[in-house]
Structure 1
Amino acid sequence: MIKILGATTAALLMAAGLIPGTAVAGPNRVATPSAASVGGCAVSVGSVTAGGDHRGQGVFAALPPTASASTILGGGVYPDGAVRISSSMSWGDDGVSIAFVSGYSVLGDALYYAQYASTDGTIDRPPLKRIGGGWGSFVALDTTFYYGTVGKRSNAFGLSNDGTLYRWTIDSKGVWRNKASAAGFASVKSMALISSTKTYDTFLANTRGGALYTIHIPTTAPMKPIVKQVRSATWQGFETLLAQQCGQYGTLLLGIDRDTHTGYVYAVGHATGPTTVIQSFGKVPGTFTDPVYFHWTDGNATFKPPFGE
């Protein structure tokens, strides 16, 4: 996943669990077909601290789950306590000693783009660029990327507190265009990207009533999401869902309960509606107390889009 790194950058990323399988000794294998494939997989957990730092931590599939110590990957990225929501953040490296980070966050009513290089957690310059206002009502944000043998695309998704799901296309210069929307998602509590292909994106979402759904969004216009129920109850406790591709079998899912500061790990087979296989690994050791959580994604040339549906 990562090219040869300098010792400083490699140590940071390994300690944070951003190089899966290196920070923690091989986890226990699970004897069921759906979960056995998850041995060695990890969710690359990112967060924004109260002090505005970017933190990284790996959560690994095992019975029970294991977690690496958290590491500051970028210090003082944001003003203290300013970030409300964050998209996934991309990280890569120069093959020597520097890690590169980029991604979007909402501070108050405005959308910002963070981009910086980091060595030992020290960033190289003021990292924030203001994109635009009008984001005060948004409660979720993420970006999706697809790089195929023919063509590529980049989209952004935002969920407003009135239940409207928005989509933009991000062009090669970082300009957000072709705004589209669909209503009807007021019950959604959290969303995690599980698939990006040439023709669609799919999110796994839980609702305040406890249901778990896939939201399949074709790239065509007008925007017409296809919603399928995966489970009907018991998922209401998670304010944050984070997902990472695990081999060819499906998705490793981390659910974070912000009320109790706890996290739980699941292996989710390819999403097929109510027949989707979900294996629980149990509670993650430690607590999740940072104000904002997000998913770290691979920013190197080896990036492969998730394919969990």
Structure 2
Amino acid sequence: MNKWTKYSAVLAAGVLSAGLLTGTASAQPSTTARSCGLNLGSVTAGGDHREQVITEEGAVVDNWIVAKNLFPDGQVRLSATVRYGAAEVGGMAHVGPVIMGSTMYDSTYVTANGQGPVTERQLTRVGPGWQVYRSLDRSTYVTATAQRETEYSLHNDGTLYRRNVTYKNGVASRQVTGWQSGYRGVKAMTLISQTATYDTFLMTLTSGKLYTARLPLAGGHIIPGVVKQVRGSTWQGFERLVAAACDDGVLLLGIDKDTGSAYLYKVGHANGAATSIRMIRKVPGSFEEPVYFHWQLFSGERLAGD
């Protein structure tokens, strides 16, 4: 087994060497102390990975290029959550799937300290047929004894697919474990809660409504999701949502690509129309990157269960 295969297998199993940042941390060390925040990732038009660290007050305290020229210019359409942590081979590892055109790839690479030259780069072709999907996300749930990775993709016909992701010799494989129709009107969605038995997403609709969808992991091929309306209007402007755990809820960033603006909210426990939502502020800066995603610390950190 070469060092890259060994690294990939260890990373996939969730076992990382010591020295990871704790709490809500960035993909590389930040000079700004904070209690919670949102690590916003993006793929630039030039194929770079960028990170912006947004505090719970809505300030951007860090903004840098994590890795340059990872992908061909303008080719990435979608990215799921990108996980990062100390790699067994040394340096900081970054792992996450992307869709370029009609093809999905698993992307993995290492940098010395979360920035700088890329080493141990690998782009593994998963397969074609992904041009019909308009959203992609992944839930990684880790306990002391087990780990699951569940991938969700929304088809253009409004069917939400759930896939189980497993690893052998460091290579990921996917198996469809369920689907549910009826999501045609969904404009943007993001994972806001995880437990051992289900995942919960927040979704904006083209009609302006805001919904939660609780998706159990057990059961047959038809996912018996529980969908609840949270708000009845005004949410149609956001083409991308990104969420991160914060205290007893999540920080939610809504990105309006038409205006290049982003707004930060604090969302409490998901409970239908009774869910508390507080707008914190419009986040300073321009948000016009082609693709946005969430950076997730690869040490068992996850969104709070609801």
Normalising by structure 2, report the TM-score.
0.86
User: What is the Cα deviation at residue 306 of structure 1?
Assistant: 1.0
Q: 2:125 aligns with which of 119, 126, 130?
A: 130
User: What is the Cα deviation at residue 76 of structure 1?
Assistant: 1.2
Distance (Å, rounded) in 1 between the aligned partners of 2:163 and 2:88: 32
Distance (Å, rounded) in 2 between the aligned partners of 1:47 and 1:200: 27
Check the 8 A contact 2:195/2:305 in 1, yes or no.
no
Distance (Å, rounded) in 2 between the aligned partners of 1:183 and 1:69: 40
Check the 8 A contact 1:197/1:305 in 2, yes or no.
no
Distance (Å, rounded) in 1 between the aligned partners of 2:288 and 2:211: 26
Check the 8 A contact 2:27/2:84 in 1, yes or no.
no
| Residue 66 (structure 1) aligns with | 59
Please list every run of at least 4 consecutive aligned residues from structure 1 whose deviation after the TM superposition is greater than 6 angstroms. Answer: none
Check the 8 A contact 2:30/2:62 in 1, yes or no.
no
Aligned 1:91-240 pairs, distance under 5 A: 91-94=84-87, 98-119=91-112, 120-173=115-168, 174-222=172-220, 223-240=223-240
User: What is the Cα deviation at residue 91 of structure 1?
Assistant: 0.8
String of CA shifts for 1:116-145, please: whole Å, max 9, x gaps: 101333111443110011101100001111
String of CA shifts for 1:223-261, please: whole Å, max 9, x gaps: 2211011111111111010000012x1101111100011
Letter in 2 for 1:197: T
User: What is the Cα deviation at residue 172 of structure 1?
Assistant: 2.8
Relative distance call for 1:259 and 1:172 in structure 2 (3 A) is: same
Q: Does 1:75 align with 2:61?
A: no
String of CA shifts for 1:155-196, please: whole Å, max 9, x gaps: 110001110100110113221014421100011111111111
Which is further off, 288-297 or 86-95?
Answer: 86-95
3-state SS of 2:196 partner: coil
User: What is the Cα deviation at residue 308 of structure 1?
Assistant: 5.1
Which is further off, 86-95 or 290-299?
Answer: 86-95
User: What is the Cα deviation at residue 151 of structure 1?
Assistant: 2.9
* Structure 2 residue ranges without an equivalent (≥5): 1-16
Which is further off, 42-51 or 169-178?
Answer: 169-178
Letter in 1 for 2:203: A
| Residue 286 (structure 1) aligns with | 285
Relative distance call for 1:188 and 1:293 in structure 2 (3 A) is: same
Two-structure CA RMSD over aligned residues (Å)? 2.4
Check the 8 A contact 1:194/1:204 in 2, yes or no.
yes
Distance (Å, rounded) in 1 between the aligned partners of 2:296 and 2:54: 14
Distance (Å, rounded) in 1 between the aligned partners of 2:129 and 2:224: 24
| Residue 38 (structure 2) aligns with | 43
Distance (Å, rounded) in 2 between the aligned partners of 1:172 and 1:216: 26
Letter in 2 for 1:239: E
Check the 8 A contact 1:53/1:76 in 2, yes or no.
yes
3-state SS of 1:273 partner: coil
* Structure 1 residue ranges without an equivalent (≥5): 11-16, 27-39
Check the 8 A contact 1:98/1:118 in 2, yes or no.
yes
User: What is the Cα deviation at residue 275 of structure 1?
Assistant: 0.5
| Residue 18 (structure 1) aligns with | 26
Letter in 1 for 2:100: L
Letter in 1 for 2:249: G
Q: Identity of counterpart residues, as a percentage? A: 39
Distance (Å, rounded) in 2 between the aligned partners of 1:23 and 1:186: 43
Check the 8 A contact 1:4/1:95 in 2, yes or no.
no
3-state SS of 2:271 partner: coil
Check the 8 A contact 2:27/2:297 in 1, yes or no.
no
Q: Does 1:304 align with 2:297?
A: no
Check the 8 A contact 2:110/2:121 in 1, yes or no.
no
